[in-house]
A = this chain, B = another copy of it.
Amino acid sequence: MKFKCCENKKAIADLSKTVEFLKVIGEENRLKILCLLKKGTRCVCEIWGYFDMSQNLVSHHLKVLTDFGLLLSEKDGLKVFYSLNKKNIKKYSKLLNNHLDLYEK
Interface residues of A in 5-55 (CB under 8 A from B): 5-6, 15-16, 18-19, 22-23, 25-28, 31-32, 34-36, 38-39, 51
Copies assembled: 2
Kindly report which residue of chain B lies nearest to residue A18, judged by CB atoms.
B31
Whether A6 and B18, one on each chain, are in contact in the complex, defined by CB atoms closer than 8 angstroms, is: no
Which residues of chain B come closer than 8 Å to A97, judged between CB atoms?
93, 97
Q: Nearest-CB distance from A30 to chain B (Å)?
A: 9
Interface residues of A in 82-101 (CB under 8 A from B): 84, 86, 89-90, 93, 96-97, 99-101
Asked if A78 lies at the interface with its beta carbon under 8 angstroms from chain B, I say no
Whether B100 and A35, one on each chain, are in contact in the complex, defined by CB atoms closer than 8 angstroms, is: no
Whether B31 and A26, one on each chain, are in contact in the complex, defined by CB atoms closer than 8 angstroms, is: no
Contact of A89 with B84 at beta-carbon distance under 8 Å, contacts A15-B31, A26-B26, A39-B3 already known:
no
A residues neighboring B (CB under 8 Å)? 1, 3, 5-6, 15-16, 18-19, 22-23, 25-28, 31-32, 34-36, 38-39, 51, 84, 86, 89-90, 93, 96-97, 99-102
